[in-house]
Amino acid sequence: DDGYRLWLKYDLVADAGQRAQYRSAAQFIASNGSDAVLKTATTELQRGLQGLLGQPVPLLAKAESNKRGILLLIDASANVSGSSASRAGFRISTQGRNILVTGRSGAGILYGVFALLRQMQTGQAIASLNISSSPRIQYRLLNHWDNPNGTVERGYAGSSIWKWNELPQRLDPRYTDYARANASIGLNGVAINNVNASARYLTPEYIEKVKALAGVMRPYGIRVYLSVFWAAPKVIGGLKTADPLDAQVKQWWAAKADEIYQQIPDFGGFLVKANSEGEPGPQDYGRNHAEGANMLATALGQHDGIVMWRAFVYKAGSADRFKQAYEEFKPLDGQFSPKVLVQVKNGPIDFQAREPFHPLFGAMPQTPLVLEVQLTQEYLGMATHWVYLAPLFKECLDSDTQTKGPGSTVARVVDGSLDQHRISGIAGVANIGTDRNWTGHPMGQANWYAFGRLAWDYTLTSKAIATEWTKMTLTREPQAVATIVDVMDKSRDIYVRYTTPLGLHHIMGQNIHYGPEPWLAEAGRPDWTAVYYHKADAEGLGFNRTATGSNALALYSPGVQQAWGDPKTCPLNYLLWFHHVGWQQPLRTGRTLWNELATRYYTGADSVTWMQQRWASVQPAVDAALHADVTARLEIQRREALWWRDACVLYFQTYSKQPIPVPFAPPTRTLAEVKTLVDLYQLK
Ligand code: BDP
């Protein structure tokens, strides 16, 4: 198994009794209408059933009374659960002899078909069905950080899947397989290029290429979006300025939007990184983010598109990077046009293995906020460490901002229900590329899958999603499924333990963001170093963000401040995010900070051995090539967990001056030796 088929394998149902039941329930497919997405649904159902049942299932114009079959019906008044605004919901029900899939649109039916196939892929009964489901979040996007030259920023699975040199004439079949995979998990949008955007995408030549891609996505209910380069009017428009209040600039963008919509009538809109990490933006002209975003919203005019304006900004100079996005954006709440959503990363720094939720969630009630998470494992071991990310996503979504009393979760900010927003969105930075198995690490597929499933319904549990995925992708053998799901479920906590326990953050290798480099003290800016964040000294460790420190804690609601503000009661997972704690300070665990820290590094690294053992035990139930691939990656992970452990305990020990606690054996290499390892990765 080369992994190309992802979770859409549709292999023959092995259990003969179950197969017979499915066969008798699916003797034909009948559908109404000529909607293009409905047609996709019909084809997909035929394809899925053919594989699962091992026999072709005919497509009929209408139900046959003496047979049992599956009816796909677009019904504008279909009774689907959830928000009445959603056209994407579906219902699957048993109606007499038949299974009926209804939805208010072709897309609804398509999602229903994938849900029905999933029932069979995971071995559920289909005798009496009553499933109703609607997406909780409206715009569910992947963000590709792909460049025109085929590279992918922070991509670890090969090159970009978009072959710009071949477009628009040749459409790589992978585009269709990609669209299909996204649709199967409920995603409905794709921003196809890097947020550090090239202006080139807005040239007529590229718009034609994008149009060709949009043509592939459309039958799967997916809209295409572009990341735009703020200074495009200057770079490709020949204007002298990109000032959002300049009449010519406004006109240029409006004309550009018209040009795009003429080619791509269902174009989704713009994603913008401005005045961030050296990118140009409205502030270059003394304007603010709202003035920039609103100008683009106006340029979209009557077209059905949106602007997703990123809040990932951190100006050099202010005392704590943690606070900078908040300081720039919070005052603008209420100033954004109705077509604008502000896109906020899950945490205040940058996709660390664990972050407290971003303080902007709950703080901008008048602005719809898109939650941005990262599927590509920039800070989580790239494509060699097995880290299942659903627990990370859930941790953020389930966090209670308490801004409107208890239960004001990030999820309810994002889905718009907390503040009654008309539009809502979620974005995942894609982890796919041209690698045959799409994601490099075979287990990375689960992160793509889990993102889609949570974007659709964030109330699903990480374990339930892992179970579905494992059954569809790896094995149906119950013991193996349980073992794999258990490893997945614990994998993220294990990664945190051997890299950044107790709330440490941003102590990774410079630029590559791989491996440990806690001693990093000089970089392009102070907030790109490690010492800026961990603040180790003779007394202790951690960033004091309470009132006696940077006071970033004050950005949260009083309830959250209370929960995190006292080092004695602050959850240990966030401790060093908010407190500078003495090395000898006893923690709730009964150990001192130093002993707890060392214990976590040691047990974390040892847990990788546990992962290896668990994975070895499922060998008979999993494809041999895939099993060997993961086994090899786990060996690398084990080696690198030891690298992290040794680097961090030896380095922090130079401050704590404490011995490695029993029963752990001190590292057999010196700090100087470990320090050279990161140079190998950075090609120094
Ligand atoms: C950081 C990445 C950088 C991205 C940036 C962003 O290191 O490559 O451009 O985020 O999100 O995580 O804009």
Q: Which of 133, 163, 193 finishes a domain? A: 133
Instruction: Return the closest-CA partner of residue 410 out of 430, 424, 396.
Output: 396
CA distance 575 to 565: 9
Q: How far is the CA of 358 from the centre of ligand 1 (A)?
A: 16
Residue range 493-507, pLDDT digits in tens: 999 999 999 999 999
Assess whether 261 and 400 both reside in one domain. yes
Assess whether 152 and 125 both reside in one domain. no
Asked if pLDDT for residue 448 goes beyond 80, the answer is yes
Alpha-carbon distances of 141 from 207, 352, 366, 454, 485, rounded to whole Å: 20, 21, 22, 12, 26
Ligand 1 atom at shortest distance from the alpha carbon of 276: 13
Cα–Cα–Cα angle for 626, 629, 635, rounded to 5 degrees: 140
Assess whether 468 and 522 both reside in one domain. no
The continuous run of DSSP H or E covering 558 comes out as helix 558-565
The answer to whether position 210 is within a domain reads yes
Assess whether 652 and 589 both reside in one domain. yes
Residue closest by Cα to atom 10 of ligand 1: 350
Ligand 1 close to Cβ of residue 90 (< 6 A): no
Cis peptide before 567 (omega within 30 of 0): no
Please check whether residue 258 is in contact with residue 207, taking contact to mean a CB–CB distance below 8 angstroms: no
Assess whether 126 and 143 both reside in one domain. no
Ligand 1 close to Cβ of residue 203 (< 6 A): no
Give the domain extent around 261.
139-473
The answer to whether position 486 is within a domain reads no
Mutate to test the pocket of ligand 1, among 277, 351, 371 (most ligand atoms within 8 A of CB): 277
Q: How far is the CA of 62 from the centre of ligand 1 (A)?
A: 52
- Partners of 372 in the beta sheet? 345, 427
Assess whether 230 and 171 both reside in one domain. yes
Ligand 1 atom at shortest distance from the alpha carbon of 195: 13
Residue closest by Cα to atom 11 of ligand 1: 312
Supply the angle between the helices 624-656 and 671-681 in degrees, to the nearest 10.
130
Assess whether 183 and 201 both reside in one domain. yes
Q: How far is the CA of 673 from the centre of ligand 1 (A)?
A: 30
Assess whether 387 and 277 both reside in one domain. yes
Number of domains in the chain: 3
Q: Which of 84, 111, 133 finishes a domain? A: 133
Question: How high is the pLDDT of residue 318?
Answer: 72
Q: How far is the CA of 445 from the centre of ligand 1 (A)?
A: 21
Asked if pLDDT for residue 378 goes beyond 60, the answer is yes
Question: How high is the pLDDT of residue 79?
Answer: 73
> How does the average pLDDT of the chain come out, rounded?
97
- Domain containing 384 — which CATH number? 3.20.20.80
The answer to whether position 483 is within a domain reads no
Ligand 1 close to Cβ of residue 195 (< 6 A): yes
Ligand 1 close to Cβ of residue 154 (< 6 A): yes
- Domain containing 502 — which CATH number? 3.90.1330.10
Assess whether 459 and 402 both reside in one domain. yes
Residue range 32-89, pLDDT digits in tens: 888 999 999 999 999 999 999 999 999 999 999 899 999 999 988 877 776 555 789 9
Q: What percentage of the chain has pLDDT greater than the value 70?
A: 99
Q: How confident is the model at residue 374 (pLDDT cuts 50, 70, 90)?
A: very high
Alpha-carbon distances of 243 from 195, 247, 332, 654, rounded to whole Å: 20, 9, 18, 51
Assess whether 261 and 325 both reside in one domain. yes
Residue range 254-310, pLDDT digits in tens: 999 999 999 999 999 999 999 999 999 999 999 999 999 999 999 999 999 999 999
CA distance 49 to 57: 7
Q: Mean pLDDT, to the nearest integer, of 379-401?
A: 98
Question: How high is the pLDDT of residue 473?
Answer: 98
Mutate to test the pocket of ligand 1, among 154, 309, 346, 374 (most ligand atoms within 8 A of CB): 154
User: Is the pTM here over 0.95, yes or no?
Assistant: yes
User: Max alpha carbon distance in the chain (Å)?
Assistant: 82
Question: How high is the pLDDT of residue 559?
Answer: 97
Instruction: Return the closest-CA partner of residue 548 out of 584, 592, 578.
Output: 578
Please check whether residue 324 is in contact with residue 276, taking contact to mean a CB–CB distance below 8 angstroms: no
Q: How far is the CA of 153 from the centre of ligand 1 (A)?
A: 8
Asked if pLDDT for residue 424 goes beyond 90, the answer is yes
Question: How high is the pLDDT of residue 344?
Answer: 98
The answer to whether position 78 is within a domain reads yes
Question: How high is the pLDDT of residue 82?
Answer: 62
Q: Which of 473, 504, 533 finishes a domain? A: 473
Q: What percentage of the chain has pLDDT greater than the value 90?
A: 95
Q: How confident is the model at residue 484 (pLDDT cuts 50, 70, 90)?
A: very high
Give me the interface pTM, i.e. the ipTM: 0.98
Contacts for 159-164: CB closer than 8 Å, 24+ residues apart: 159/433, 159/434, 160/433, 160/434, 161/432, 161/433, 161/434, 162/192, 162/213, 164/206, 164/209
Question: How high is the pLDDT of residue 467?
Answer: 98
The answer to whether position 7 is within a domain reads no
Ligand 1 close to Cβ of residue 514 (< 6 A): no
Asked if pLDDT for residue 153 goes beyond 70, the answer is yes
Assess whether 216 and 107 both reside in one domain. no
Q: How far is the CA of 195 from the centre of ligand 1 (A)?
A: 8
Ligand 1 atom at shortest distance from the alpha carbon of 372: 11
Among all chains, which residue has been given the structure tokens 């947020």? 195
Q: Mean pLDDT, to the nearest integer, of 404-415?
A: 98
Q: Mean pLDDT, to the nearest integer, of 198-210?
A: 98
The answer to whether position 561 is within a domain reads no
Q: Mean pLDDT, to the nearest integer, of 554-565?
A: 98
Ligand 1 close to Cβ of residue 351 (< 6 A): yes
Q: How far is the CA of 490 from the centre of ligand 1 (A)?
A: 27
The answer to whether position 478 is within a domain reads no
- Domain containing 70 — which CATH number? 3.30.379.10
Residues with catalytic function: 277, 350, 378
Question: How high is the pLDDT of residue 77?
Answer: 81
Ligand 1 close to Cβ of residue 606 (< 6 A): no
Assess whether 185 and 110 both reside in one domain. no
The answer to whether position 637 is within a domain reads yes
Asked if pLDDT for residue 683 goes beyond 80, the answer is no
Ligand 1 atom at shortest distance from the alpha carbon of 154: 8
